[in-house]
Every structure is written in C-alpha cells, then in structure tokens.
Amino acid sequence: MMLLETKKLSNIYDNNRGLQEASFSLRAGRILALVGGNGAGKSTLIRLLTGQEKQKSGEIIWHKPQAIRYMPDDVDFPSMLTATEILQLLASLKQIGKSEQEDVLRRVALWDVRKQRVKQFSKGMRQRLNLAQSLLGDGSLLILDEPTNGLDPFWIAELKKMMLEEKARGCTVIFSTHLLAFAEEVADDVLVLHEGEILISGDLKEILLQENSTSLENLWLKKLNL
C-alpha cells in the first residue's frame, strides 16, 4: 500500500540550501534511508514530513493519516532531570503508562542509570535516551534524524536490530544518515540527496542491480563523478 508521495517538494533557505523539487513515493511497511553529506537536504525533508516546517512549493500526499514517532538529530534535555523524569514528562504528553516507559529504558540499556541526572550522561547515553523517547507509543511511522550520531559500533548494531523489529511489526521507518554502509544494511529503499536534489531514488537492491554497482557507496561516488 502506498503510504506517501511528494511532488516537486521544495523549501530553500536564505543561504540557498534546503530541498529542491523532490519527488518520490514510499510504500508502507518499508525502511527508507535518506543519505547524503552535510547540507544535502536530509534534515529539511524530515522537518517537512514531520510538520516542523511548511514547504514553499510542491505537495506532500499522505495516503493514510499517520501517527508519527520522531527522533530529532539532537535534543537538549534538561540537564538537572533524570532519565526517568524526562521519559515521564514526554510519556504524559502521549498518555503512555509507566510500564512502557520502563520497557524502553531497558531496551536502550539506561535502566540502571535511570535515576542519574542527564548532565552526567555521555553523548552516546543522551542519544540512547533520545532513541528511547522516540520508541514510546505505537505510531505506525517512525522517523529518525541521524540516529547513529554519538553511538558506538555496538549500539549502531543494536539500532539496526530495533529498526528491523519495528519493520517486522508493520511500522514504516524513515531515517537519515551519512553512513552509507549502515543504510545499505538496513534499508529497503533509498533516497540519495546532494545539494538539495535527489540523485537516486527507489528500491535499493534493484538500483544496485540496474546500475551494476557493488555498493551504495560506489554508486554514490559514481553519481558525484568522484
């Protein structure tokens, strides 16, 4: 079932960065990777899809209303609050009970430090808390903006498992990353962006086959003529 379509979606900022006439579609129950370098337009697209910004032109067409769970690329959590207090606050907005809050803290291995203040957390721990809050609830669309930032190799592997688990239970996942190998390992579909424009879009395996490319990284370099 088609979940989402965009038609010539654009949002250009004063510095001429952003997104330019992006058109693509996404079926429900799949994992879509948004890949590209800094300033490619990944976060702009995510802000448009999550309603944080309004496009200057083009369309976003949702074929079915979506309850979105969202992980921003960075969250400045109140440093004097504990992990438990932060999740309690966010869970109250979603009307989510205590047992689920505890489950997600265990899922991201923060249960043992749940009563520590966030100011004592490392960057990786804060990122896992950010991931935990995005896992609260049962929204059928999970959007993750640069979720690997600050994570060590073990937790990148754990993140991959979690994303595949979300897909297995019928959730659609959209995530942005500059790690092409990670995108290739987990994604069904890919949207490669460069300077606000779409270079590559579609089923990842089919694209690699059609382009006779051994990896997403090689294909990306080819498209950039590097």
CB contact set of 181 (below 8 Å; sequence gap of 6+)? 215, 216, 217
Quote the percentage of the chain above a pLDDT of 90. Answer: 83
Measured between alpha carbons, how far is 38 from 174 in angstroms, rounded to an integer?
18
Q: pLDDT at position 226, please?
A: 55
Measured between alpha carbons, how far is 206 from 189 in angstroms, rounded to an integer?
9
Q: What value does the mean pLDDT take over residues 180-190? A: 96
pLDDT in tens, 97-139: 889 999 999 999 999 999 999 999 999 999 999 999 999 998 8
Instruction: Give domain limits for the chain.
Output: 2-67+139-223, 77-137
Q: What value does the mean pLDDT take over residues 7-31? A: 94
pLDDT higher than threshold 90 for residue 222: no
pLDDT higher than threshold 70 for residue 30: yes
pLDDT higher than threshold 60 for residue 18: yes
pLDDT higher than threshold 80 for residue 24: yes
| Domain at 2-67+139-223: CATH code | 3.40.50.300
Q: pLDDT at position 150, please?
A: 93
Distances (CA, A) of 216 to 153, 190, 210: 20, 9, 12
Measured between alpha carbons, how far is 158 from 88 in angstroms, rounded to an integer?
24
Q: What are phi and psi of 189, to 5 degrees?
A: -120, 155
CB contact set of 223 (below 8 Å; sequence gap of 6+)? 192, 194, 199, 200
pLDDT higher than threshold 60 for residue 9: yes
Query: Is residue 141 helix, strand or coil?
Result: strand
Measured between alpha carbons, how far is 49 from 68 in angstroms, rounded to an integer?
10
How much is the mean pLDDT over the chain?
94
